Every structure is written in structure tokens, then in C-alpha cells.
Structure 1
Amino acid sequence: MSVQSVFQEEKNPRGIPKAPFIVNVEEYLGGTDGSVENTIKSFQDAIAKYRYMESNLTQRRQGLEDKIPDIKKTLGMVEFLHARREGKGKVDEDEDDLDDEEDDVEDAQKQLTTTFELNDTLYAEATLEDTDTVYLWLGANVMLSYKLPAAIALLTSKLELANTSLSTTIEDLEFLREQITVMEVNTARVYNWDVKRRREQRIAEEGSGAAAKQS
């Protein structure tokens, strides 16, 4: 029995095959003389494949859980810069008509000083210029400039995609754990059935031997 024949044709939305639950071991093996060794080996190979997929998805989940907070922080900062610039533009428009907003004008024109992370434990202080452009790392040592609205749209899209990917990854991990449990139960049931079969055969042979001696 090959590993491929163990899996059912039914799959989850991401194409992970469903494991069968063996209701009748004897029927599944093809009778009382069915090969247990090959079946158990095929089950173990199937479990190994499931565990390999589980390991990959666990790493993917960890990567997404690390990535999503970074996207949120970046998006929050860009939205802050955009709101600050929009607020300043509104103040500039109303400056001639509203003399009592002089303090707001000064606040909007005041330079913004902040710290940014250079390394895990190293930060630097920077003064942000009034700009409508930000630079975003896109991975693989690629950085591109974006206008603030475009950057917000891009980061929002990336955050939605990352959250969706995390949700499906968690769903796939739960599905895989269910399939691993099913295959482990199948393996135990086939093994126990084989132990029982061997015991019954031994008892029958001993009974036949005793009957032969009496005769």
C-alpha cells in the first residue's frame, strides 16, 4: 500500500488531503491475512508528511505573527503623518480668517522629534520634516517612495492580506492536527487488531496441538 493511497480525495480549501478513519480494520486490510507491516508503515509515512506540513505552517504562522505588529506600527505612523499634514493644511487655509488660532498654527508648524529603531537595542533621535512622501521597505533590500495616501493604501492592503493569511494558516494547522490524530488512532487500531489476531491464532494452534496429542 503506497502512501498516496492512504489519503482521501477529499481536501481542505488549501489542498491538504483528509485522512481516512478506519472503521473496520479487517475489511480495510482485506481479510484476516492482510499485511499489517506495510499498512502501519504507510500510516507512519503519512503522519510524517502531515508533520512536515505542520512544521512549515508553524514557521509561517510565527513569521506572520512577527510581521503583523510591524505593519500596524508602520501604518499607524504614516496615518499620523498624514493626519498631521492634513491638519496643518487646514490651519493654513483658515489662518487669515481665524486670528485666535495662532497657537494651533505654531503647533502645526512645530518640528516633530522622535526616535526610531536602528537595531533591537539601538535607537536614534530624528527630526521629521514636513513631507508628503515616505519610504517603505518592500523586502529583499528594496525601498520605494510613496505619497502618504498611497502608502496608507498599500500598508492597509498588506495588513489585510497578512491577517487573512494568518487566519488560514491557523485553520490549516488545526486541520493538520486533526489528521495526525486520526492517523495515530488508525495506527494504534491496526496494531491492536494485529496483536489480537496473533493471540487468537496462537490459542487456536495450541488447541489443535493439544487435540492432536489426545488423539
Structure 2
Amino acid sequence: MEVNTMQRRKGLEEKIPEIEKSLSMVEFIMNREDTENPIETSFELYDTLYTQAEIKQPDKVCLWLGANVMLEYTLEEAKDLLESKLKSAKQSLENAIEDLDFLREQITTMEVNTARTYNWDVKQRRLTKSA
């Protein structure tokens, strides 16, 4: 359980900055709606492959949802979706941290009780042997 929870925590810690980055980009695009100058940028096509692009007055964005799924959203819908995903990811991270703390306490309690039981057994064997 501890390993599974730690993996979930690690995944969430990697996921949250990506969601925040996507959210900040959507907000940046929303704030530039009233300007006529296009945004010049380079974006990643693949791990080591980038290309240049000009973005002119976008009203929709595409978001990766995972499992090779990408959907097109309006800027407002994308912002709402990313904010809700960020909130739930942060809540899940808090829960994972609490679960890890609880598991560590339980493991320590179990180890102490196991040691006490072993010591009690050793003491009982010595008493039986001496009697």
C-alpha cells in the first residue's frame, strides 16, 4: 500500500505543474484576445522535435486528456476544466500525503508490537527453561 500511495503521490507531483502550465497558457491567450499582434512561439511536436508557429486571435484550444485523446474547448471551457482538474489534483495529493503519514504510523506501531511480542515470547521460553 505504501509503495502504491508513493507512486500516486509522485504522479500527482509531476501532473500538477503541467496542469498549472496549461492553465497559465490559457489565461495568457485569454488576456491577449484584444490585441492584434499574433503570438510567435515554438511548440513541441515530439520529444526532441519543435516547430515555429504564429497564433492569431484563438477562440479555441485543444487539450490532451490522456490515453491519446485530445479535445477542442473554448477558452472559457478550457480554463474551467483546467481549474477543476488542478483543484482535484491538489486535493488528491493532500489525501495521498495524509495516507502515507497514516501508513507510516501503522507500520511503526506494527513493528513495535511485533518486537514486544517476540520479546515476551523469549522471556516466557527462558522462564519455562529455568523452571
TM over 0.5: yes
Q: If the TM-score is normalised by the length of the shorter chain, which range does it land in?
A: over 0.9
Amino acid at match of 1:70: E
Corresponding position: 1:117 with 2:44: yes
Q: Percent identity?
A: 60
The residue aligned with 1:69 is 17
Aligned length: 131
Query: 1:134-189: per-residue Cα shift (whole Å, max 9, x none)?
Result: 01111111111111011100000000000000000100010001000000011100
The residue aligned with 1:27 is none
Task: Verify the 8 A CA contact 2:16 2:86 in the aligned structure 1.
Answer: yes
Task: Verify the 8 A CA contact 2:37 2:56 in the aligned structure 1.
Answer: no
Query: 1:188-214: per-residue Cα shift (whole Å, max 9, x none)?
Result: 00001111111111111xxxxxxxxxx
The residue aligned with 1:182 is 109
The residue aligned with 1:201 is 128
Query: 1:6-60: per-residue Cα shift (whole Å, max 9, x none)?
Result: xxxxxxxxxxxxxxxxxxxxxxxxxxxxxxxxxxxxxxxxxxxxxxx11111110
SS at match of 1:109: coil
Where does the alignment leave 5 or more consecutive residues of structure 1 unmatched? 1-52, 89-107, 205-215
1:15-30 to 2 correspondences below 5 Å: none
Q: CA deviation at 1:117?
A: 2.6
Asked which structure has the greater CA Rg, the reply is 1
**Aligned equivalents of 2:87 and 2:52: distance in 1?**
31
Q: CA deviation at 1:125?
A: 2.1
**Aligned equivalents of 2:47 and 2:68: distance in 1?**
18
**Aligned equivalents of 1:122 and 1:182: distance in 2?**
52
What is the aligned counterpart of 2:74 among 143, 147, 153?
Answer: 147
Q: CA deviation at 1:121?
A: 4.2
Corresponding position: 1:166 with 2:114: no
SS at match of 1:185: helix
The residue aligned with 1:80 is 28
TM-score for the superposition, normalised by structure 1: 0.59
Where does the alignment leave 5 or more consecutive residues of structure 2 unmatched? none
Q: CA deviation at 1:122?
A: 3.9
**Aligned equivalents of 1:121 and 1:67: distance in 2?**
20
Amino acid at match of 1:123: Y
Amino acid at match of 1:193: W
